[in-house]
């Protein structure tokens, strides 16, 4: 017997047509593809975790720890993608539990002193990877939406505690003059800063919570940096001496660096200054395009091959001090650097010209200088992000605990890398401003990068015949890198890079202003 409701007429809608589902009504997809990505990511994560675990215990497995590490990263990426696109509450809670477990377990591994450097470095990576997973779960959540809406506040609180605890610990070690034990508090400070700044970026400057937390972090970071500087001056003057021979080294400069980075990142996240607004817009554009991920993955693989080659030379005893020079100044890595910079900078202004959005951008309350500086800051941050795998691989270096190996030259190399990288990015930005074609801008930048590499080759032929060898040595960025890897920072070697940065930025502004003369 048929249901009586089957013969009842449907209610008419506003247009007179009966309401109800029609044959052509669009039905929401079941997110089958993202869930398949999540399943594949979970499988890759398990395989990578087992391979890396066996490698840390010197046990044989079907794949090596290097491939296992790549599987681990690929698996985490797949899970983050699925967590971001998933809307089912049960799966989001499962990802939330996994993220919390990863954050707690990864942070806990850092305190296990009997574990190897590689194991603790892996714990640091897992703790950092838990942040995007938790933020993906919190997407669209509100404070009233069960526990998921409280994730940003919880991550802000956790990041603040880790950051404050790490900095306080560094102050204590500075009083003792202890450098050997400063790695753990520094790692906690970096982890806390990553969580805190990551949540600020997730919430956006429009959020009242992000706005208040950002300004508090800005003021607190400047205050802590000033406190560390004053404490260092008091030690050097003899008014208030620490137990060690110096205070600024080992702890003072690290406290200042971490505090200023947190203050600068928090201010850049919540400020409404035109330059920083353009920088945030450009960074979003980077990570919404496939070029950023292509460059990051390619450079990570290049760094991995250089690292494997470096370990092989190290095992065969063909590496002398400074041993990091054999890792950084390596042909394959330099070639990848030559191609990476054009890929980062070629679209900065040329794409705006081609698409006709430059004029629209200039109708906003921004001037040419703000546009150039904002795009330069975004591209410079992207350039520095390329070198993150380089640092992560070195954290797991097997000889890290041996007395003959010193990580401190990495600090001077970081300064040298920032100085030379600023010149690379500014040059690429200028070529992008000169051309409305991305390919032409990229080709010009590549030629410019090769031109900056040529002085390193020519200086050896001219060193003994004339004074031009010294001039070329100051122009060559690789010569400065080699000096920095020896723990030396010679200011005159970076005059050319700083001058190149200022000159190219000035010319880029004038190129944009030239449209008024036409």
> pLDDT, tens digit, for every residue of 67-114?
787 788 788 888 888 888 887 878 888 888 888 999 999 899 888 866
Of residues 75 and 462, more confidence is placed in 75
Q: How does residue 444 score in pLDDT terms, banded at 50, 70 and 90?
A: very high
| Terminal-to-terminal C-alpha distance of the chain | 83
pLDDT of 288 above 90: no
Q: In the predicted model, what is the mean pLDDT of residues 383-402?
A: 66
**Contact assessment for residue 103 and residue 131, using Cβ atoms and an 8 Å cutoff:** yes
Least confident of 219-223, 428-432, 465-469: 465-469
Contacts 24+ apart (CB under 8 A), 210-213: 210/269, 210/270, 211/270, 213/156, 213/266
pLDDT of 133 above 70: yes
Least confident of 105-114, 287-296, 362-371, 426-435: 287-296
For 208-355, strand residue ranges (E) read none
Instruction: Report the SS3 class of residue 456.
Output: helix
Distance from C-alpha of 135 to C-alpha of 124, rounded to nearest angstrom: 18
The segment with the largest mean pLDDT, out of 65-79, 106-120, 185-199, is: 185-199
Instruction: Report the SS3 class of residue 18.
Output: strand
Instruction: Report the SS3 class of residue 201.
Output: helix
Residue whose pair of structure tokens reads 């983050």 in the numeric block = 80
| pLDDT (tens digit per residue) in 202-255 | 887 778 888 899 999 999 999 999 999 999 999 988 888 888 777 887 788 889
Q: How does residue 147 score in pLDDT terms, banded at 50, 70 and 90?
A: low
Using a 10 angstrom Cβ sphere, with 0-12 exposed, 13-18 middle and 19 or more buried, the burial of residue 174 is buried
Tokens of residue 480, six digits: 């400065």
CA-closest candidate to residue 247, choices 221, 263, 261, 229: 229
pTM: 0.76
Least confident of 243-247, 324-328, 512-516: 324-328
Distance from C-alpha of 151 to C-alpha of 137, rounded to nearest angstrom: 8
DSSP state of 491: G
Task: Give the pLDDT score at 317.
Answer: 66
Distance from C-alpha of 387 to C-alpha of 107, rounded to nearest angstrom: 23
CA 141 vs. chain centroid, Å, equals 26
Task: Give the pLDDT score at 250.
Answer: 75
Distance from C-alpha of 7 to C-alpha of 334, rounded to nearest angstrom: 77
Mean pLDDT of all residues belonging to the chain: 80
CA-closest candidate to residue 383, choices 423, 412, 350, 352: 423
Q: In the predicted model, what is the mean pLDDT of residues 366-387?
A: 90
Task: Give the pLDDT score at 162.
Answer: 94
- In DSSP terms, which residues pair with 18 in a beta bridge? 12
**Contact assessment for residue 324 and residue 311, using Cβ atoms and an 8 Å cutoff:** no
Task: Give the pLDDT score at 410.
Answer: 77
Distance from C-alpha of 199 to C-alpha of 71, rounded to nearest angstrom: 27
Q: In the predicted model, what is the mean pLDDT of residues 5-16?
A: 45
């Amino acid at each position: 017997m048929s249901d009586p409701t089957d013969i009842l007429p449907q209610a008419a809608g506003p247009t007179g047509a009966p309401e109800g589902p029609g044959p052509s009504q669009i039905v929401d997809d079941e997110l089958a593809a993202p869930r398949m990505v999540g399943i594949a990511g979970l499988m890759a994560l398990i395989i990578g975790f087992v391979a890396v675990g066996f490698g840390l215990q010197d046990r044989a497995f079907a794949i090596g720890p290097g491939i296992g590490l790549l599987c681990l990263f690929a698996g985490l990426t797949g899970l983050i993608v699925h967590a971001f696109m998933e809307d089912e509450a049960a799966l989001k809670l499962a990802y939330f539990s996994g993220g919390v477990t990863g954050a707690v377990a990864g942070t806990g591994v850092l305190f296990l002193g009997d574990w190897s450097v590689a194991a603790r470095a892996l714990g640091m990576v897992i703790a950092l990877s838990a942040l995007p997973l938790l933020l993906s779960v919190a997407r669209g959540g509100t404070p009233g939406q069960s526990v998921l809406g409280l994730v940003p506040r919880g991550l802000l609180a956790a990041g603040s505690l880790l950051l404050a605890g790490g900095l306080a610990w560094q102050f204590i070690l500075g009083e003792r003059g202890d450098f050997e034990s400063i790695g753990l508090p520094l790692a906690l400070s970096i982890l806390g800063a990553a969580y805190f700044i990551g949540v600020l970026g997730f919430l956006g400057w429009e959020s009242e919570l992000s706005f208040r937390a950002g300004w508090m972090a800005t003021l607190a970071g400047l205050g802590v940096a000033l406190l560390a500087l004053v404490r260092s001056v008091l030690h050097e003057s003899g008014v208030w001496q620490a137990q060690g021979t110096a205070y600024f080294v080992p702890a003072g400069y690290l406290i200042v660096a971490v505090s200023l980075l947190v203050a600068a990142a928090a201010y850049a996240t919540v400020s409404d200054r035109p330059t920083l607004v353009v920088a945030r817009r450009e960074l979003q554009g980077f990570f919404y395009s496939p070029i950023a991920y292509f460059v990051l993955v390619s450079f990570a693989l290049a760094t991995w091959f250089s690292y494997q080659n470096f370990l092989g030379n190290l095992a065969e005893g063909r590496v002398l001090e400074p041993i990091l020079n054999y890792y950084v100044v390596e042909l394959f890595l330099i070639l990848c650097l030559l191609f990476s910079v054009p890929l980062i900078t070629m679209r900065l202004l040329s794409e705006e010209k081609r698409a006709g959005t430059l004029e629209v951008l200039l109708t906003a309350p921004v001037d040419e200088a703000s546009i150039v500086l904002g795009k330069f800051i975004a591209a410079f941050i992207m350039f520095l992000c390329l070198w993150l795998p380089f640092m992560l691989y070195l954290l797991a270096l097997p000889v890290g605990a041996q007395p003959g190996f010193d990580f401190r030259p990495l600090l001077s190399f970081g300064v040298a890398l920032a100085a030379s990288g600023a010149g690379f990015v500014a040059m690429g930005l200028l070529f992008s401003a000169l051309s409305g074609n991305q390919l032409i801008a990229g080709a010009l930048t590549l030629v410019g990068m090769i031109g900056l590499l040529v002085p390193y080759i020519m200086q050896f032929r001219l060193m003994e015949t004339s004074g031009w060898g010294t001039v070329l040595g100051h122009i060559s960025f690789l010569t400065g890198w080699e000096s920095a890897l020896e723990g030396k920072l010679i200011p005159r070697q970076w005059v050319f890079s700083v001058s190149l940065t200022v000159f190219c930025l000035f010319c880029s502004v004038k190129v944009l202003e030239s449209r008024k003369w036409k």
